[in-house]
């Protein structure tokens, strides 16, 4: 089921589902990413592969292969 870095996930839900399935959602990022929440515009530090916005609960995810790139972080939904 693991496709390495070749997987193409277009939505935040696909990313979050994938990292949850692989057990990476609770893995810490090597370096925090500064994220501007698309739902409430709060700026926060994303510290895990799956991190909710502390203000509104919008869940964000990033795959391990892209964890260094803030552009690869995708929103999955509030409370997802």
User: Does residue 18 sit within a domain?
Assistant: yes
Range of the domain at 11: 7-78
User: Does residue 2 sit within a domain?
Assistant: no
User: Does residue 69 sit within a domain?
Assistant: yes
pLDDT score, position 1: 44
Sheet (strand 58-61) strand order: 50-52, 58-61, 74-78
**Listed residue (7, 59, 67) closest to 33, CA to CA:** 67
In total, how many domains does the chain have? 1
What would the pLDDT profile of 15-72 be if each residue is shown by its tens digit? 999 999 999 999 999 999 999 999 999 999 999 999 999 999 999 999 999 999 999 9
User: Does residue 39 sit within a domain?
Assistant: yes
Query: pTM for the whole thing?
Result: 0.90
């Amino acid at each position: 089921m693991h496709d390495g870095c070749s997987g193409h996930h277009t939505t935040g839900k696909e990313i979050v589902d994938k990292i949850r399935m692989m057990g990476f959602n609770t893995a810490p990022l090597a370096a925090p990413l500064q994220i501007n929440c698309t739902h409430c515009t709060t700026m926060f530090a994303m510290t895990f592969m799956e991190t909710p916005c502390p203000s509104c609960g919008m869940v964000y995810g990033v795959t391990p292969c892209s964890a260094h790139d803030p552009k690869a972080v995708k929103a999955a939904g509030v409370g997802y």
